[in-house]
Chains A and B, each alone.
Chain A
């Protein structure tokens, strides 16, 4: 097919999904689309359709299945490589997730609050002691989630330059698949070596606790790789995008400063508004399925335009508006179904602490330049900001 839209499309405005995604949602909510490798897939853009698809056992998350959308061809993981948690289907997925999800309960996350607060305060001490303007991406947005996930996992933070550079490359669509594959392999090898070390000298950390519970070392290396990657890129991007957005909206910022009780709701609205990771929830049909009157055949791939879906007029009133009072928690910024983000409550907590602390400690914070001069991660699988110069 030559006339079907080619996805993924880059966002051209930080505050809006690509216009073509919005058009598809209106005119063709289950659309035949072309992917960069020339293959075709279906794109879903309505919230209800995506929620149904992600809870339907006739769709598989297994990236190793032939025809899974947006997987680099010719550089597939070795056949004997264990699938990652995000690629498992029932019943293996439930078992694997339950083995680790106890590390991410609300109770466990709340217990991390004082340490996260300390990390945020340390970063802001350094910002306040440094020159103006300051770039909040390397000074706050990246190190906070990076330090938190490193401490939780038991990964030495001293190695963060190594995995930070590889994490970023891994997600860039402009980097050739072979190079992305190498970046992934390097992090997995690093993790495998670290786990061998943990087996000898256990610490008070997630990886050591999983080993003590009898986790398979190779599977654990895959899990550690995923958690490190997800813990780095996603929360950091939401910190920078959220800070930018709040600085651009004085009424939102005033509400947040006045009453910390509204911060969780503001964080939820930021998550919905940006929906920074859209293609993580791609799937492949393993049986024929009809969605919205369209037949999706077994073996066909499905991608989700989650940013448009999180503004779907059928699910959100005036979804293009950033609305503090919205209290809309049915968004799919963390995905939906059994694979919904494992670290979502860690991300929420980090974002709440960062915003509350940042604007309390630097009340005069402002952007050092106009938003349209900022550099956005337009070609990354996870949207975000390359840098965020601020002053005070």
Chain B
């Protein structure tokens, strides 16, 4: 699975960084998301990534399942 982010949608709310600062960070200048680790493997991390996707206010995040492109 691979995390994708739509930077045009991202509004820099930082909810993903609060959810998992190992996976997500923000650009200093415009606050938009930086994905530090694009392919989470362990179930706990994937759970947190799904939480980040759910609470992202601009719905900028997604998890691409294996075999799909984004």
State whether A345 touches B14 (Cβ < 8 A): yes
Residues of B within 8 A of A160 (CB): none
8 A Cβ contacts from B4-35 to A = 8-9, 11-15, 17-19, 21, 25-32
* A55 CA to B57 CA, complexed, in Å: 8
Interface residues on A, range: 20 to 34
Q: For B12, list chain A residues within 8 Å (CB).
A: 97-98, 101-102, 104-105
**Chain B nearest CB, measured from A59 CB (Å):** 14
Chain B binding site: helix, strand, loop or mixed by DSSP? loop
B55 at the interface (CB under 8 A from A): yes
Return A48 CB to nearest CB of chain B, in Å: 12
In the complex, what distance in Å separates the CA atom of A102 from the CA atom of B32? 8
- Of B9, B51, B57, B58, chain A has the most CB atoms within 10 Å of the CB of B57
Max chain A CB contacts within 10 Å: which of B8, B12, B25, B55?
B12
For A97, give its contact among B11, B14, B25 (CB under 8 Å): B11
Assess whether A330 is interfacial by the CB under 8 Å rule: yes
Taking a contact as CB atoms under 8 Å apart, the answer to whether A101 and B30 are in contact is: yes
Is there a chain B Cβ closer than 8 Å to A340's Cβ? yes
A-chain residues with CB within 8 Å of residue B29 when the two chains form the complex? 102
Query: Judging by beta carbons under 8 Å apart, are A106 and B11 in contact?
Result: no
Q: Which residues of A contact B13 (CB under 8 A)?
A: 340-341, 344
Please choose the segment from A62-70, A218-226, A331-339 that sits at the chain B interface, where 4 or more of its residues have CB less than 8 A away. Answer: A331-339
B11 to A338, Cβ gap below 8 A? yes
Within 8 A of A (CB), among B31-70: 31-32, 51, 54-55, 57-59
Q: Which residues of A contact B (CB under 8 A)?
A: 54-55, 94, 97-99, 101-102, 104-107, 329-330, 334-341, 344-345, 348
- Report 15 cross-chain contacts, Cβ distance below 8 Å, ordered by A residue: A54-B57, A94-B8, A102-B27, A102-B30, A104-B12, A105-B12, A105-B17, A105-B31, A107-B25, A107-B26, A330-B54, A334-B57, A335-B57, A337-B58, A345-B14
